[in-house]
């Protein structure tokens, strides 16, 4: 009897599929998406089934590639639970040309409404808007890199990347939106343009210095939201009204709190239609390594905001929370496995990233906690058959007994 080949997926490798029972009704509305041109009714792989297979990839450490998904779809257990037939590589690859990733946004919104705050810092209780961390990260696609290098080696580095423009809800501990663009950051892929198109009311957007632009600040305020944004170290400003610092400000390293005039007001695009506040915080300069370009840090953190009523040390604390999104990017790439792209088509990448958001939300709903490596590992052990259901439930009960 032949032994198991590396990468083979067997019935015993796939467990825990009953947890997908709750997903099926949620995704059912997607079943007919992409069937408009299928006049003969021959379509065998539907959008809801494709999403379930992608979620199987995200949760099961044995299913680590498109070919492994194909093999898993051949298993009777998977077919019964996911309601699908065998999915060929061709149909899995074609899926990104047929299905509409934006239809997953409404499902993400519904799951988001079910999530309760799980990581509220009591020191931030006076912040009225939902703290929303904003940043982008790059994903590389090797096949695209090879193809681009053959056409133009100099442009290959940019063409082989995709940028995920991410909004992360700090209080709920999950991403609420990811927009996929090509990786150059130019034109419509510019991070400021992408954010401006996705603004909502009632949010406090926490941004790094790449988002610092007066027009964007005005648009955020016009959307009935607020911002806390780092400025470049060499930003020019003129103090209009200096504010007195308190003991907590000094303890947080705040050196200046003032309403200021920023930049050159001679140009229309450099004019703000609201008062802007500058909080300067002393930090430990980050040492550049490996001959990195650009000037060394001054050791001063310049933070711009339209929030005038909060203490300066709270503004500093809000900005420091921005690093939470960097931790999420690490979880997204290294733990959920999204460094490996199932598709190098923008629509396929959107579907995979939306499914990853759903995975994060499901972990939060199951556990009442933000996604962590240890909890994700335990869920993966269960889906791979290495942990029994009572062991998974005991782990989840322990989390719920010790809330954040």
Helix (H) or strand (E) holding 281: strand 276-282
Return all residues near 261 (Cβ < 8 A) that are at least 6 apart: 237, 238, 240
Burial of 334 (0-12, 13-18, 19+ CB in 10 A): exposed
Contact, 139 vs 341, CB < 8 A? yes
**294-352 pLDDT, tens digit each:** 556 678 999 999 999 999 999 999 999 998 899 888 888 877 777 788 888 888 888 99
Q: Which two tokens stand for residue 243?
A: 């504010």
- Tokens 């009960």, residue? 397
**133-186 pLDDT, tens digit each:** 999 998 876 444 334 434 444 444 445 588 899 999 998 888 989 898 888 888
At residue 298, the 3 state secondary structure works out as coil
Q: Is the pLDDT of residue 361 over 70?
A: yes
Burial of 349 (0-12, 13-18, 19+ CB in 10 A): buried
Q: Which two tokens stand for residue 311?
A: 């203490």
> How far is the C-alpha of 388 from the C-alpha of 295, rounded, in Å?
54
pLDDT at 195: 96
Share of the chain above pLDDT 70, in %: 83
């Amino acid at each position: 009897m032949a032994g198991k080949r590396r990468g083979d997926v067997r019935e015993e490798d796939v467990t825990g599929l009953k947890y997908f029972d709750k997903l099926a009704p949620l995704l059912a509305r997607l079943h007919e998406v992409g069937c408009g041109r299928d006049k003969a009714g021959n379509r065998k792989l539907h959008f809801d089934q494709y999403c379930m297979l992608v979620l199987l990839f995200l949760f099961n450490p044995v299913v680590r590639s498109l070919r492994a998904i194909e093999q898993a779809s051949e298993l009777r257990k998977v077919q019964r639970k996911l309601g699908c037939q065998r999915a060929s590589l061709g149909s899995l690859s074609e899926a990104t040309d047929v299905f509409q990733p934006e239809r997953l946004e409404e499902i993400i919104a519904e799951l988001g409404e079910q999530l309760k705050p799980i990581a509220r810092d009591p020191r931030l209780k006076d912040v009225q808007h939902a703290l929303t961390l904003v940043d982008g990260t790059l994903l590389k696609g090797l096949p695209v890199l090879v193809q681009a290098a053959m056409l133009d080696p100099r442009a290959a580095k940019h063409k082989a990347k995709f940028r995920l423009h991410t909004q992360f809800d700090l209080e709920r501990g999950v991403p609420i939106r990811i927009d996929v663009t090509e990786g150059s950051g130019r034109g419509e892929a510019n991070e400021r343009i992408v954010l401006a198109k996705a603004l909502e009311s009632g949010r406090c957007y926490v941004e790094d210095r790449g988002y610092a632009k007066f027009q964007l600040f005005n648009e955020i305020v016009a959307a009935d939201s607020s911002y806390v944004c780092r400025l470049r170290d060499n930003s020019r400003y003129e103090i209009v009204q200096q504010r007195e610092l308190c003991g907590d400000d000094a303890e947080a390293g705040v050196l200046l709190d003032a309403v200021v005039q920023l930049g050159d007001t001679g140009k229309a695009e450099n004019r703000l239609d609201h008062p802007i506040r500058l909080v300067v915080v002393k930090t430990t300069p980050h040492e550049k390594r490996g001959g990195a370009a650009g000037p060394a840090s001054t050791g001063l953190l310049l933070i711009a905001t339209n929030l005038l009523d909060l203490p300066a040390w709270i503004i500093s604390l809000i900005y420091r929370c921005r690093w939470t999104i960097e931790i999420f990017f690490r979880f997204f790439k290294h733990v959920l496995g999204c460094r490996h792209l199932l598709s190098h088509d923008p629509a396929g990448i959107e579907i995979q990233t939306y499914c990853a958001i759903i995975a994060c939300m499901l972990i939060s709903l199951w556990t009442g906690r933000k996604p962590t490596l240890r909890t994700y590992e335990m869920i993966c052990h269960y889906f791979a058959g290495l942990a029994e259901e009572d062991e998974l439930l005991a782990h989840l009960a322990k989390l719920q007994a010790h809330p954040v």
